[in-house]
Structure 1
Amino acid sequence: MGKQWGRYGCLGLVLALAASVAATAQDAATPATPASSKAPVTTTKPVVNATPPSADAAAAPVVEQDIPLAGYGAAGVKEPSSPQAWGGERTGQEATLSDRVVSYRIDAELDAARHAVTGKQQMTWRNRSDRPVRSVYLHMYLNAFKNQGSTFFTERNVLTAHGHSRGAAVLEKGQWGHIDLQRVQQGENSLKWAFVQPDGGPKSDQTVVRVDLAQPVGAGETLTLDIDFLSQLPRVVERTGWWGDFNLVAQWFPKIAVLELPGERGAKQVQWNAHEFHFNSEFYADFGSYDVRMTVPSDYTVGAVGEQQGEPVQNGGKTTYHFMQGDVHDFAWVAAKGFRTMDTTYSGPGVPKVAVRVIYPPEYEASAQPVMKATTDSLEYFSRTLGAYPYKTVTAVVPPYNASEAGGMEYPTFFTAEGYKKIDPRTADQYMIDFVTIHEFGHGYFYGLLASNEFEEPMLDEGLNEYWDQRMLRERKQPLLVPSSFLADLGIRPQMDVFVQERLGAGLKSPYDPLSQNAWIRFSSSSYGTVYSRTATAMHDLEERLGTPVLERAFKEYYKRWHFRHPSAADLRQTLIDVSGNARAVNEIFDQYVYGTAMIDDRIASIDNDEVLPLAGVFDENGTRTEVVSDDLDKKLDKQRKAWEKAHPDAKKGEGPFPWRGTVTVVRDGAQVPQLLRVTFADGSHEDVKWDDERKWARFVFEKPSKIVSAELDPDRKILLDANKLNDSRTVEAHPAAARRWTSDVTALLQAFYSFLVTL
């Protein structure tokens, strides 16, 4: 999903940057107990569905499940997965790209007037475990938008009170969304189902349903369920829905949860991973194949996950499209009246010929070509730096005006971007459309091909993807421009390095939650939002410590080992250690930031200079005692200084006939990090010293011909995790350069903000 401030456009970006420069980006509200703060739940009792089963449903009572559920507290994994997890590393010699666990055949028809989809689904699922399965869990994501009693809306009320986020739309009459099970059948048996809340959410939440089987599915056997359902799309509130004649059909069908085995993502036993649809969480599902037919009004444009099969079939003013895709774990599609398409192809080393399509509304025609270029550029970059793109299609959808909440969202081979009526290359417009496109395409790797668990470990998708996107923009030498055509007209184009921008929004001073925390146990939506920027910043700093070539090899190896296999944070850490051989650097980043809430803030506390002068007093030398009188010594030193100054008329201030003893005191107000201290002297020379220990403070003494004029920690700006970079340096005498720089930055941001207000 796109960045948290991305939904607010340029105003949100200006406000975010201005707040960061002013050091007010931290959550300042008094901590409140989230509505979802309950004890971890590992087993649940059923809540009978509000919509009763069909009349011919099986009469047998609902039975308790004998396989436990991953519950409320499931989060970042610390133990690496078994080498044989998910069937072991894919070699490329297998019959299919992934170990296909599930397949879906769906016939769907869109009622465009009601924005409702009727569906008939046949799902075939394989039991990978060593025991019989008597019940299965299905995700019913659209019920998050059914009423205010869902987990989604319950959490939204609390989390948005302490931070900003997307998904804040208010649903009015006729705009709610839901999904109804109308029939679930196993062979000749109609099945009963019950809504459950695996995370202890409100009993009114209906985003997870348990279906009790008429016959158990034995170890290694397959289950086939025939399901009839009705999906009512909501008015676009987040990720899915309708606006006008635009329908983004996502999270729209009953989707089976993941049965995890011991050794997979930290699981100690066979368990179901079937979390409720939380406000901040996204998805996790098994790989499989999809065979989907969608019938829509004939004047609608359609795009979907995967490859279109043959020509669409028209009948009575309706058209049926047929799409198929294997080795993916979700399926979404768009149906919109009056939309246009732009097509090209991409080929690259190891990449099959890829059909690239952009679907866009006429009002955002200016966005079509930039989205297309950013998509094809992303195909090249991600294929080169991680692994060859394995699919034959990629489709980007630009939502229409008033449906921006449908933008910035990802599905396998299919994503939504953002639209602009006009793109001013002098401002942030180009950066924003490129960034969102690259970001959503990049999810196709971290969410799609690696298939991380976005419920429990969002940093593995949102955070790592953010980091890799910014590396791409850095390679393109594409900085962030402050969004102001007013400043551009004046010839002023303030810009910011992409990783400096990430640092400003990372909440480094007082992080509330570890990066590895799950998506719902969060102090606020703003705290969840730092998963993007803080992960990108942490990975940036790790790259500086390991070296760029090593880091790049490690991420290629991570992709090689774990694509199509659902890695955990522990699997990422182990791969980084294996490739780099630098366990200390990797473990420090993971212990302090991924699994912890450490802060780094090292600072220069003081600089002291003393001339090394002859001393007054009584001295014993070669058996003779002599006394040096202070007054006589002062006269002698004064005479020496005058003679030296006469002989050195061009000497710099701070130089003289006597050496100087300079002392620099550094203080550590947070976690330990290897630091480089650069001390500059009056003669223009400098000396670098490493501070790489666990001392909370240290003093470094230098004897030089000239005095110290300045000292700076991290002179090459490699440690962006430092919460306060302003106290990294100090000069002996006040220098106005820093004040001028920061005043200029703040002024530029305020001017940009005011110019935006003028346009309202």
Structure 2
Amino acid sequence: MVGRGGRTIGLVLALGFAWAVLAQDAPAPAGSAAAKQAMPAADQAAAPAATEVAEIPLAGAAAAGVHEASAPNAWGGERQGNEATLSDRVVGYRIDAELDAAKHAVTGSEQMTWRNRSDRPVRSVYLHLYLNAFKNEGSTFFTERHVLTAHGHSRGAATLKKGQWGYIDLKRVQQGGAALKWSFVQPDGGPKTDQTVVRVDLAQPVGAGETLTLDIDFLSQLPRVVERTGWWGDFNLVAQWFPKIAVLELPGERGATQVRWNAHEFHFNSEFYADFGSYDVRLTVPSDYTVGAVGEQQAAPTQANGKSTYHFVQGDVHDFAWVAAKGYQTLDGSFTGPGVPKVAVRVIYPPEYKASAQPVLKATTDSLEYFSRTLGAYPYRTVTAVVPPYNGAEAGGMEYPTFFTAEGYSKIDPNTSDQWEIDFVTIHEFGHGYFYGLLASNEFEEPMLDEGLNEYWDQRMLRERNQRILVPSSFAARLGVRPSMDVFVQERLGAGLKSPYDPLSENAWNRFSSSSYGTVYSRTATAMHDLEERLGKPVMEKAFREYYKRWHFRHPSAADLRAALVDVSGDAKTVNEIFDQYVYGTAFIDDRIASIDNDEVVPQAGVFDKDGKRSEVEAEVLEKQLDKQREDWQKAHKDAKSWEGPFPWRGTVTVVRDGAPAPQLLRVTFADGSHEDVHWNDNRRWARFVFDKPSKVVSAELDPEQKILLDADKLNDSRTTKTNAMASRRWTADMAALLQAFYSLLGTL
């Protein structure tokens, strides 16, 4: 998902909130009285007693970034490319669904098949009912949102009125000929009124290696667009809309030490996690609606009674979403590249945002080229981008396999950040197709592996295109200047570098504040930027290609990313330093120039021994001699510079380290225009560097090439011996531009 905060000029606004209090509560055991609280009476009566807790436990509320690398055979081992299917398909869905356009409701019939990969029988399974996040204010989503919006703006802040709530009703769950009962659970200790996770008790256990088949009838009522999914007018984005089975993890997979279910509530900040499988979906909608979906459309839609039925099929993905909208238009393109099947690219957009269609199409095809070249060949035959309508923008900036939503503009002003922003959002959402889609990271527990790494790779693409962010400034415009900002400089501005409360590897909901969650995007991108500067661009690219090669169509952890970086770079010290300090820790960097001192190197007063003789130099006599020497030199060098004289200079530069150590380059410039570079790469809290030169030190700067963007305060990285009005004018102009951008942003929220 794109960085929260609506339209931006590149400042990724942080969202999230402190869920720590709720997370402290132990999750209600499946089948307990607390878990059954929100169940219909009939379901409560049929639910197992508390003593019949399923043998297979749930991942806990504290599950977060993994420290130990996964086993080599995790998820069936690395895909070699010669297997019958791209992924190890664990689950399959056959769904028939019909949209009631007037009610924005979908009736569905689903047959789900699921393979038990474990070595033991499974007696209960867990299903996600994500739409129940929008059922009432007692859901985990709304409980968390209430805390967040009390402390500032956020996405997903729409107020739902009568008839605008959303939910999933399970009508029937059947195994063979047996009707099954279910109970709602809250694995993360959320409010007992949350119904986004349901446990289904099976009539017959599923043995090791065996396959379960469930037949499910359901009704999905779409909410008015709050976030990610829903309707506005005749637009329906149907996402997280069907009962979806949770992931059964085995020992050695993402830090699991025993067989466990990974099922989390639908949190305000978190996204999703699911098994790879196949989808065979038929969608019936009014015939005057435009339809787009995950996967490939099979033949032309069939029509009857004013309705059209579309058939979509896609293997080796882990989710399915679709759009049905009246009066929408399409723009088609295609892409081919080395190792990539011919990809049909489609943009679906409302007439009022026609200006967005071509830019979204181009940014999508450009992304296909970049990601295929730098990570791995795109393996699917379709990609569909949807531009939501005005008042439906909260459905924008969201990703699903082969399918994403972008942003809409009625016109693109070349004098603003419009072009950069529409490109960034498109590239970002397409990029999720790799980090969320093909790598299938657990977005609940390790959001940095998706949002953060994707943000980093997106900005690399924009950097390669030399696409900077235009900063609006009426003052600069009057001077004929168009101020711009480097994409990674923009990232550090929103990264919360000075006082990070949570490790990047923390899960999505257990965060100190909304800002802390937001730094998952920007602080990860900044940390990866700095790691690239230390390892070198070619090494970093090779390491990420290896990470993708090992883990696509599997489910990596943060520890698996670290292992790939170490293996390729051969530099465990540097990689571990970044991970220990920023991924698993909350360190910050703040190195600064404390002072610059210049002294003439002149003869000294006192008693001296030379050649067995002792002599004394009197201070008063010496001072007169030095004055005479200076006077004579000035007479002989009438055109000399102010810093020139008969004696050399000793310059002393003192640097101070207020945070974690980082390998710094210190550049010292002298009055004669020369400079000297010194490396400061140790753990000292402060250091002094002395330079004996013919001229004075006039300035000193840490990180002159701007490689260490994790430094929390770049303003104290440099110092001069005399004031320079150019610096103050520059920072005044920059601050004015940023303030104008900020006020413009507030107007769009």
Asked if Structure 1 and Structure 2 have the same fold, meaning a TM-score greater than 0.5 normalized by the shorter chain, the answer is yes
> What letter is aligned with 1:582?
D
Question: What is the SS of the residue equivalent to 2:482?
Answer: coil
**Equivalent in the alignment of 1:136:** 125
2:243 aligns with 254
Secondary structure, aligned partner of 1:92 = coil
Say whether residues 1:668 and 2:657 are aligned partners.
yes
Conservation of the 8 A alpha-carbon contact between 1:196 and 1:206: yes
- Counterpart of 1:564 in 2: which secondary structure? coil
| Superposition deviation, residue 489 in structure 1 | 7.1
Shift of 1:740: 1.1
Three-state SS of the structure 2 residue aligned to 1:464 is helix
Counterpart pick for 1:48 among 20, 33, 36: 36
Shift of 1:750: 3.9
**CA distance in 2: counterparts of 1:757 and 1:534, whole angstroms:** 22
Partner of 2:704: 715
Query: How big is the shift at 1:39?
Result: 3.6
Per-residue deviation, 1:653: 2.9
Matching residue of 2:359: 370
Tell me the amino acid that sits aligned with residue 3 of structure 1.
Answer: G
2:611 matches 1:622:
yes
Distance 2:737 2:490 in 1: 15
CA RMSD of superposed structures (Å): 2.3
How far residue 639 of structure 1 moved from its aligned partner, in angstroms, is 2.3
Q: Which amino acid aligns with 2:22?
A: S
- The residue that corresponds to 1:37 in the other structure is 23
Question: 2:553 and 2:523 mapped to 1: Cα distance?
Answer: 26
Aligned to 1:564: 553
Q: 1:98 aligns with which of 82, 87, 90?
A: 87
Select which of 203, 218, 233 maps to 2:207: 218
Match of 2:512 among 509, 520, 523: 523
Are residues 1:468 and 2:454 paired? no
**Superposition map of 1:495-574 within 5 A:** 495-574=484-563
Contact 1:339 1:361 (8 Å CA) reproduced = yes
Shift of 1:657: 1.5
For residues 732 and 442 of structure 2, the distance between their equivalents in structure 1, rounded to whole angstroms, comes to 43
Q: Deviations over 1:623-680 (max 9, x none)?
A: 2222222232222212222333344444333232112121111111111111111111
CA distance in 1, matches of 2:744, 2:520: 31
Q: What runs of 5+ residues in structure 2 fail to find an aligned partner?
A: none
Map 1:195-206 → 2, pairs under 5 A: 195-206=184-195
**2:28 and 2:186 in contact (8 A); partners too:** no
Q: What is the total number of aligned residue pairs between the two structures?
A: 746
2:61 alignment partner in structure 1? 72
In 1, the alpha carbon distance for the partners of 2:184 and 2:18 equals 29
Counterpart CA distance in 1 for 2:175 and 2:393 is 40
Native 8 Å contact 1:438 1:469 kept in 2: yes
2:216 aligned to 199, 206, 227, which one?
A: 227
Q: Which residue of 2 aligns with 1:306?
A: 295
2:4 is matched with 4
Aligned mate of 2:580, from 577, 582, 591 = 591
Contact 1:652 1:683 in 2 (8 A): no
Verify the 8 A CA contact 2:452 2:524 in the aligned structure 1: yes
Of residues 637, 645, 648, the one that matches 1:659 is 648
| Distance in 2, Cα, partners of 1:221 & 1:757 | 55
Distance 2:18 2:436 in 1: 31
Give, in angstroms, the shift of residue 708 of structure 1: 1.1
**Paired letter, 1:221:** E
Residues 331-379 of structure 1, C-alpha deviations (whole Å, 9 max, x = no match): 0000000000000111001100000000000000000000000000000
Q: Are positions 1:730 and 2:722 aligned together?
A: no
Equivalent position SS for 1:734: coil
From the superposition, tell whether residues 529 and 754 of structure 1 become closer, same or farther in structure 2 (CA, over 3 Å). Answer: closer
What SS does the corresponding residue of 1:4 show, helix, strand or coil? coil
- Per-residue CA deviations over 1:282-332 (Å, capped at 9, x if unaligned) read 000000000000000000000000000011000000000000000000000
**Stretch of structure 1 that moved more, 170-179 or 633-642:** 633-642
Counterpart in 1 of 2:375? Answer: 386
The whole-number CA distance in structure 2 between the counterparts of 1:92 and 1:659 is: 68
Does 2:442 correspond to 1:453?
yes
1:112-511 paired onto structure 2 within 5 Å:
112-483=101-472, 488=477, 491-511=480-500
Tell me, yes or no, if the aligned pair for 1:142 and 1:251 is still in contact at 8 Å: yes
Contact 1:163 1:527 in 2 (8 A): no
Cα contact 1:164–1:525 (8 A) shared by 2: no
User: In the superposition, relative to structure 1, how do residues 410 and 335 fare at CA in structure 2: closer, same or farther (>3 Å)?
Assistant: same
Unmatched segments (≥5 aa) in structure 1 = 18-24
**Partners of 1:4 and 1:164 within 8 A in 2:** no
| CA-to-aligned-CA distance 1:506-557 (integer Å, 9 cap, x gap) | 0001011110000000112221111000000000000000000000000000
The answer to whether the Cα contact below 8 Å between 1:150 and 1:202 also exists between their aligned partners in 2 is yes
Q: Could you tell me how far 1:164 is from its partner in structure 2? A: 3.6
Q: Give yes or no for contact 2:488–2:526 (8 Å, CA) kept in 1.
A: yes
* Preserved contact between residue 484 and residue 756 of structure 1 (Cα < 8 Å): no
Query: Counterpart of 2:114 in structure 1: which amino acid?
Result: W
Indicate the residue corresponding to 1:21 in structure 2.
Answer: none
SS of 1:658's partner is coil
Distance across 1 between alignment mates of 2:747 and 2:478: 15
Specify the SS of the correspondent of 2:647. Answer: strand
Cα distance in structure 1, aligned partners of 2:522 and 2:721: 35
Alpha-carbon offset, residue 492 of structure 1: 3.0
- CA shift, 1:33, in A, is 6.9
TM-superposed deviation, 1:431:
0.5
Quick one: distance in 2 between partners of 1:326 and 1:438?
A: 23
- Look up the SS of the partner of 2:231 in the other structure: strand
- CA 1:751–1:69 in 2, change beyond 3 Å: closer, same or farther? closer
Hey, what's the Cα distance between the residues in 1 that align with 2:457 and 2:47? 53
SS state of the match for residue 214, structure 2? strand
Structure 1: distance between partners of 2:72 and 2:124: 28
1:603 is the counterpart of 2:592? yes
**Percent identity among equivalent residues?**
79
Q: CA deviation at 1:52?
A: 3.7
**CA deviation after TM superposition for structure 1 residue 186, in Å:** 0.2
1:286 touches 1:329 (CA, 8 Å); kept in 2?
yes
Code of the residue aligned with 2:4 in structure 1: it is Q
CA distance in 2, matches of 1:190, 1:90: 38
Instruction: Identify if the C-alpha distance between structure 1 residues 490 and 292 changes in structure 2 by more than 3 Å, giving closer, same or farther.
Output: farther
